[in-house]
Structure 1
Amino acid sequence: MKFTRTLTLLGSLALAPMVMAAPATPNDMLKQKIQSTLGLEVNIITASPVEGLYQAITNRGVLYITADGSKLLHGNIYDLNDQMNNLTEKALAGPRLDMLKEFESKMLVYKAKDEKHVVTVFTDITCGYCRKLHREMKDYNDLGITVRYLAYPRQGVPSPNADEMEAVWCAKDPHKAMDDAKAGKNISLAKCDADIAGQYNLGGAFGVNGTPAMVLEDGSMIPGYQPASALFDVLERRAVKQ
């Protein structure tokens, strides 16, 4: 009887579908290599414009890695046959837009009444040109440009700078707190689920290395301050091309 039960059990196991771990993909292996070797967080790995190279978007910008994971490159790829078109910047556009969606609930938005364009600005409350841009917010809004702020404390996270920016995001009236902070006024410290570190790391992944940095509607990024009229012209030209 015992032998019969054993055979029955073995038979049922043979008929059961075998569950095996899915084999690791090349992307998985390359992601692990970068994370274990460099200690970076890898958000996305895709094929690059150069055959044999993969493009990794990390929390500190874009890296290129060979298919076997043995060689690493850092920098931009340009197309000599297309007026030195920056292929790295072009490849980042789509992923940037996808990654921004996860942070829409964290943005401080200055919405234009007659909205024509939307830009996302990585900002710091101590940055001179960030303060200039903020003083001119009405000019942007009047031209139909909605401005969405994400935090990029230039001192990094953690830092007193990051704490001050968290206080802005967590204030009862964040827009007034931003006005005060960018006017050089003191604001009361406050804490909430603003994820300043996440916003800062997102900027790093996008290649932000200074503020302000503007992400446009097509996912391209303009470093530095742009007057409202100049920015509007850029947005209008790009809208025609799309």
Structure 2
Amino acid sequence: MKKLNFPCKQLILSFVFLCTFFGSVLSFATEDEATRQNLVKILQSHFPDIKLEEIVATPIKEIYQVTHGPKVLYISTEGRFLFLGDIIDTQDKLKNITELARRQARIKALQQLKPEQSINFIPKTVKHTVTVFTDLDCGYCQKFHSNIKALNDKGIAVKYLAFPRGEPGSENYQKAISVWCAKNPNEALTAAKLQKEVQKTTCDKNPVDGEHELGILMGITGTPTLILENGVMIPGYLPPEKLEEVLARLNEI
């Protein structure tokens, strides 16, 4: 029998190595997918109405990250333990892994909204866009809107989403519906912010309920709350100059 020369041996060994390597990768991928499918089944058995966006492995062994709309939570591999909290990497400048995931989840949730669901004040030249969860009677929300021209002059577009502080059925909540359902929502919102009377109205597809629910899922507890383009959430009022300063260093935060 003719002996194999060195290049042939090397080729065969390389082929065996590649088969073994990719076989193990495929095995891990299949195992990981099976785990995710099992976790989906477990979560849906307890929360049949939940909309699962993503289930991915975390840097912590046997812990998976679950994204539900803009909300991030964690579950053990076997699906027994479900918990909330932040994962912080002490070996990477105390990087908050959970907050980074929340930012991406917020961006994705906002991208799923239709343009007509928000009340938009857009400058001719847009440098930055800020989404603002707002209440019509909140003092600092009114103060923020009093600066809308100054914000637009700085190239900052503002997209308002409704987050009425009153419960559904309250006068405050109905006012939000009237504004979002008005023939000219921009004028109605400005009038409401100036504490002027707004004609009571409603519409079949008023977005207030959905936007209010989205805000709750994001963990919003007060207004105004700003969501920046990179998903960073800022609770509270910022004057135009300060907001412009924050947006200028968007890549640093």
Q: TM-score, normalised by structure 2?
A: 0.76
Q: Which residue of structure 1 lines up, in the alignment, with residue 103 of structure 2?
A: 93
Aligned to 1:25, the other structure's residue is in SS state helix
Q: Which residue of structure 2 lines up, in the alignment, with residue 172 of structure 1?
A: 183
Aligned to 2:43, the other structure's residue is in SS state helix
When residues 105 and 26 of structure 1 are mapped into structure 2, their CA distance, relative to the original with a 3 A threshold, is farther
Aligned to 2:249, the other structure's residue is in SS state helix
Aligned to 1:54, the other structure's residue is in SS state strand
Q: Which consecutive residues of structure 2, in runs of 5 or more, have no partner in the other structure?
A: 1-33
Aligned match of 1:153 in 150, 164, 169? Answer: 164
Alpha-carbon distance in structure 1 between the residues aligned to 2:50 and 2:166 = 20
Alpha-carbon distance in structure 1 between the residues aligned to 2:55 and 2:192 = 40
2:118 alignment partner AA: M
Q: Deviations over 1:1-23 (max 9, x none)?
A: xxxxxxxxxxxxxxxxxxxxxx9
| Structure 1 residues 61-210: aligned runs within 5 Å | 61-103=71-113, 104-192=115-203, 193-210=205-222
Same amino acid, percent of matched pairs:
37
Alpha-carbon distance in structure 2 between the residues aligned to 1:140 and 1:168 = 21
Q: Which consecutive residues of structure 1, in runs of 5 or more, have no partner in the other structure?
A: 1-22
Q: Which residue of structure 1 lines up, in the alignment, with residue 53 of structure 2?
A: 44
Aligned to 2:66, the other structure's residue is in SS state strand
Structure 1 position 151, deviation (Å): 0.8
Q: Deviations over 1:124-170 (max 9, x none)?
A: 11222111101111121111100001111223445433221110011
Aligned to 1:166, the other structure's residue is in SS state helix
The answer to which of 170-179 and 151-160 deviates more is 151-160
Structure 1 position 49, deviation (Å): 4.7
Structure 1 position 185, deviation (Å): 2.2
RMSD: 2.5
The answer to which of 91-100 and 117-126 deviates more is 91-100
| Structure 1 residues 226-241: aligned runs within 5 Å | 226-239=238-251
Q: TM-score, normalised by structure 1?
A: 0.79
Structure 1 position 60, deviation (Å): 8.5
Q: Which residue of structure 2 lines up, in the alignment, with residue 9 of structure 1?
A: none
Structure with greater contact order relative to length (CA < 8 Å, sep ≥ 6): 1
Alpha-carbon distance in structure 2 between the residues aligned to 1:127 and 1:144 = 25
Q: Which residue of structure 2 lines up, in the alignment, with residue 221 of structure 1?
A: 233
Structure 1 position 75, deviation (Å): 2.4
